[in-house]
Amino acid sequence: MDILAQFWHSTGGGTVATFRKKGEYQWHVQIRKKGFPTQTKTFTHRKDAEAWATAIEREMATGTFIPRQESERTTVHDLIERYRVEVLPSKRGKHFGHALGVLDDALGQYAVAAITPPLVATFRDGRIKAGLSASTIRKEINLLSRLLDLGAREWGVVIQANPCKLVSRPAPGKARERRLEGDELERLLAKCGPHMQALIRFAIETAARLGELLSVKWVDVDLKKRVMIVRGINERGTKNNDAFRAVPLSSAAIEVLEGMKALPRSIDGRVFYWWKAADSFNKSWTRAKTRAQVQHLKDKGKWHRIPSEYSLVDLDQHADGFLSDLRFHDLRHEATSRLFEKGVFDSMEVASITGHKTLQMLKRYTHLRAEDLAKKMG
């Protein structure tokens, strides 16, 4: 038989907390107050039920009350699945899907209300221990933070405070300083097919991102005005959420495009249509770089020292620094630095060409050679 106890509290007036014993091991609590949704919860011990009721009533009286039902019955997995359906299709980067999977595996089973700063810190430490880069870990925690904010702001899954905002992130890594050295570019181009050669040369002349280049269509190129319109992946805007960016084309860039007129064109109208996305291009990039490294070692008489298993794989550890750790995105760094080294553009003009949102980011992508600056000093 249920045992019922009801009483009125003086805090705020009009608050009723009802305690009902259900069986031998459960206490059901219901709190009613005018202007607030009814709150209910079940506990094993009466003292825990009373403590919860007191805390809720205090929050109602002080104006700090936040309904907890949704955050207690909604899991992080639920947020992730809704995000995949409603938000992810509009995102440009592919890393979001992988990061959501990581968060789901590590935290998906937890209720949103159970996500605390110590739990997020434990997740962070585990990723650090697993050897993930600071950039990757920061992106994952930031994505979790956006999930929680979105849940509270639009999906009714309200929490007292976003725990991610109380957790420190790993310090960001140093900005990459890799630029082309010596005859690296010439040797790399010598081992590329005409399509790869064109894309590399064009990237150095425009400072455009790989995804932007693979999405450019001929209709976006005006050879007479020497302007290319960048609309982003699948025309969904640039990385900085601009609808488009107009990129001026140098004489060398025009020469690349003119040379491509002799090549077959794609029915989808893309200029660099040989690669559908970054994944397929990166494989071609690695093969071209490996061929150039092998030839470099042969020319230096050092190829015989390299174990045979390295002949067709990444040679970064054995190539004496030649093309080592060079990524295609480094060509954007190279191009941005070359724009400054021309000595005719100011920072805002370079930013309009490269599409950098802030001058701080522009500085991060710019690496001027000290010896070139020394020449200007006289």
d(CA 92, CA 332): 19
Q: What is the pLDDT of residue 178?
A: 85
339 and 217 in a common domain: yes
174 inside domain: no
**Facing residues of 248 across strands?**
227
Query: What residue type is assigned to position 151 of the chain?
Result: G
115 and 93 in a common domain: yes
Instruction: State whether residue 199 is helix, strand or coil.
Output: helix
Q: Give the end of a domain, one of 15, 33, 65.
A: 65
Q: Which CATH number fits the domain that encloses residue 231?
A: 1.10.443.10
**Facing residues of 247 across strands?**
228
d(CA 65, CA 43): 20
Q: What is the pLDDT of residue 261?
A: 81
Instruction: State whether residue 20 is helix, strand or coil.
Output: strand
Contacts of 144 (CB under 8 A, 6+ apart): 76, 103, 107, 115, 120, 164
328 and 212 in a common domain: yes
**Facing residues of 40 across strands?**
30
Q: Which residue has the tokens 């595996």?
A: 105
Q: Give the end of a domain, one of 138, 166, 194.
A: 166
358 and 245 in a common domain: yes
219 inside domain: yes
Q: What is the pLDDT of residue 11?
A: 42
55 and 86 in a common domain: no
Q: Which CATH number fits the domain that encloses residue 95?
A: 1.10.150.130
137 and 212 in a common domain: no
55 inside domain: yes
271 and 128 in a common domain: no
133 inside domain: yes
361 and 312 in a common domain: yes
171 inside domain: no
Q: H/E element holding 7?
A: strand 3-9
Q: What is the pLDDT of residue 39?
A: 77
Give pTM, 2 decimals. Answer: 0.65
Query: What residue type is assigned to position 257 of the chain?
Result: L
For residue 177, give both structure tokens: 């300083």
Q: What values do phi and psi take at 220, rounded to 5?
A: -90, 5
Q: What is the pLDDT of residue 258?
A: 92
212 inside domain: yes
Whether 214 and 274 have beta carbons less than 8 Å apart is answered as: no
221 and 349 in a common domain: yes
172 inside domain: no
Residue numbers of the domain that contains 144: 73-166
270 and 308 in a common domain: yes
173 inside domain: no
The whole-number mean pLDDT for each consecutive block of 10 residues of the chain, a chain of 378 residues, reads 43 66 79 76 83 78 70 88 88 76 94 92 95 91 94 84 92 80 93 93 93 91 91 60 78 92 84 86 90 87 65 65 89 90 83 80 66 64
331 and 283 in a common domain: yes
Q: Give the end of a domain, one of 137, 166, 195.
A: 166
Q: How many domains does the chain fold into? A: 3
141 and 107 in a common domain: yes
